[in-house]
């Protein structure tokens, strides 16, 4: 996770790279319980919805020994599988700090867990979103390479002034990505798998568009941070996603400079359409705001 608008350095107690001690032994019983409730709830929903890569990663990490997992333990397995580690941070970190961690195969995860009265919605990513949502995919060798490449690409996009375009790639893949499989569409995005409501909405609701992944098209599409997505992009496989990002983005960024954004709910003639969404949910949400 990352965010813009940081003017000063790391908060007191954090290292220069913004990492902190997870301080695993100081989580309370109540905090461990929140993890257990969320874990049970999501895993019950995700069979038949999450991608095999995600479910396999979840199994490999054994994130259900009771309570919030200890990063030291997760890291032994993760390190062995793909060379990634999870590091604790206080919350959102500046973009350049985030990219630097990814480029070195370190995933920064929020140390705190949401309070029990906010099980379904919170603004900042907590340890459940970051660890349950993101870390299982990092056990997959292809996805592991993709995330590292993204970190390097982030540093470059910042220099070229195209971070807003690259951020859309992260959003529509790492956070809200869907995958086409023989058994049907499956979720691999962390923002979906860690959300009770969106893990149903993203696959089953007739409202959002579900469109085939196309790198340049996707980078022209804005996204919502405040509600369910209006469009999801479907990759054929993680390998296709990785391969599409191995090319040099500089010429793409140059074209994007002149190209217009695609409206969030638009379907283009060149799109491969999995679902032509009714957009009913987005429209009714708008009505609620106006009322």
Q: Are 110 and 131 in contact (CB under 8 A)?
A: no
Q: Kindly report the backbone phi and psi dihedral angles of residue 220, in degrees, each rounded to the nearest multiple of 5, phi listed first.
A: -100, 0
**Interface size with ligand PHE, residues (CB under 6 A):** 11
CA angle 94, 137, 130 (to 5 degrees): 40
Q: Are 132 and 40 in contact (CB under 8 A)?
A: no
- Contact of residue 189 among ligand PHE, Fe ion, none (CB under 5-8 Å per partner type): none
Shorter beta-carbon distance to ligand PHE: residue 119 or 160: 160
| R_g over Cα of the chain | 19
Q: In the complex, what is the shortest distance from the CB of residue 134 to Fe ion, in angstroms, rounded to a whole number?
A: 6
Q: In the complex, what is the shortest distance from the CB of residue 78 to ligand PHE, in angstroms, rounded to a whole number?
A: 20
Q: Are 233 and 165 in contact (CB under 8 A)?
A: no
Q: How far apart are CA 42 and CA 38, in angstroms?
A: 6
- Contact of residue 248 among ligand PHE, Fe ion, none (CB under 5-8 Å per partner type): ligand PHE
Site string for Fe ion, 173-192 (x = CB under 5 A): -----------------x--
Q: Residue 248: which residues within 8 A CB-CB, separation 6 or more? A: none
Kindly state whether residue 153 participates in binding ligand PHE, applying the rule CB under 6 A: yes
Site string for ligand PHE, 223-262 (x = CB under 6 A): ----------------------xxxxx-------------
Kindly state whether residue 150 participates in binding ligand PHE, applying the rule CB under 6 A: yes
Query: Binding residues for ligand PHE, per CB under 6 A?
Result: 149-150, 152-153, 156, 169, 245-249
């Amino acid at each position: 996770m990352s965010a813009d608008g940081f003017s000063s350095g790391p908060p007191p107690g954090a290292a220069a790279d913004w990492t902190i001690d997870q301080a695993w032994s100081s989580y309370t019983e109540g905090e461990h319980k929140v993890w257990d409730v969320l874990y049970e709830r999501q895993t019950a929903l995700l069979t038949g919805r999450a991608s095999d890569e995600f479910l396999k990663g979840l199994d490999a990490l054994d994130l259900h020994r009771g309570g919030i997992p200890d990063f030291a333990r997760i890291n032994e397995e993760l390190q062995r599988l793909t060379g990634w580690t999870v590091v604790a941070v206080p919350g959102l970190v500046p973009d350049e700090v985030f990219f630097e961690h990814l480029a070195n195969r370190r995933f920064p995860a929020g140390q705190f867990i949401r309070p029990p009265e906010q099980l379904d919605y919170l603004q900042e990513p907590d340890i459940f979103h970051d660890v349950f949502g993101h870390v299982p995919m990092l056990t997959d060798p292809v996805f592991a390479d993709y995330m590292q490449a993204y970190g390097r690409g982030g540093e470059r996009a910042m220099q070229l002034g195209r971070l807003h375009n690259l951020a859309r790639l992260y959003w529509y893949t790492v956070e809200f990505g869907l995958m086409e499989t023989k058994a049907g569409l499956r979720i691999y995005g962390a923002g979906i798998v860690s959300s009770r409501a969106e893990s149903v909405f993203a696959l089953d609701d007739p409202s959002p568009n579900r469109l085939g992944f196309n790198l340049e098209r996707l980078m022209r599409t804005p996204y919502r941070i405040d509600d369910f997505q209006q469009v999801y992009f479907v990759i054929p496989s993680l390998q296709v996603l990785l391969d599409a990002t191995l090319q040099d983005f500089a010429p793409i960024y140059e074209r994007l400079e002149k190209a217009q954004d695609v409206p969030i709910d638009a379907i283009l003639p060149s799109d491969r359409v999995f679902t032509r969404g009714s957009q009913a949910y987005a429209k009714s949400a708008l009505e609620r705001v106006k009322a």
